[in-house]
Amino acid sequence: MLENVNVFSNVEFTKWAYLEELKIEEKYLIQKYLEKQGKTIEAGTGGGRILIEMQKLGFTSLSGFDCAPEMIEVAQQRAGNNGLSFEVQDATNLPYEDSSFEQAIYLQQIICFIQDDLGRLNAFKEAHRILKKGGYILFSFLCFDCRVKNIG
């Protein structure tokens, strides 16, 4: 696991590795903005929850990456042999060709896990680079005020 994302306690790791189902807001955004046949990449896939659920909704070309090998191991085990693809990669420096994907998912605050400004900037640049022109990316971000007050 990269040093700057080694932020999970055992409890948090288990939560994100084995979480199930889509949240209502995730399902809404995915169904509204993403195409079922579109080539899709998910950043910070954790235990693969979002892609596993998207497959059940009928999405057909799904890949995910995470910088934590332990997460990718869990995602591969959970998905089994069902055509989902998972690999260890760092969002700030991706090996994919320019314009490789038609749509991308950066939900559950993936960008916010990156500790420094340059890393976050590089992750945005990489997300833009690997996306086909006109494609959609779904991002979510932490609410700073909520975090400070420890309510979100």
Ligand X SMILES: C[S@@+](CC[C@H](N)C(=O)[O-])C[C@H]1O[C@@H](n2cnc3c(N)ncnc32)[C@H](O)[C@@H]1O
Query: Residues 6 or more apart from 90 whose CB is under 8 A from it?
Result: 2, 67
For residue 46, state whether it binds ligand X (rule: CB under 6 A): yes
Helix (H) or strand (E) holding 131: strand 131-139
Query: Residues 6 or more apart from 109 whose CB is under 8 A from it?
Result: 140, 141, 142
Query: 11 vs 134, which CB is nearer to ligand X?
Result: 11
Q: Which of 29, 54, 67, 130 binds ligand X (CB under 6 A)?
A: 67
For residue 19, state whether it binds ligand X (rule: CB under 6 A): yes
Q: Which of 52, 86, 90, 131 binds ligand X (CB under 6 A)?
A: 90
Residues 123-152 that bind ligand X (CB under 6 A): none
Rounded least distance, CB 94 to ligand X, Å: 9
Rounded least distance, CB 31 to ligand X, Å: 16
Angle between helices 69-79 and 49-56 (to 10 degrees): 20
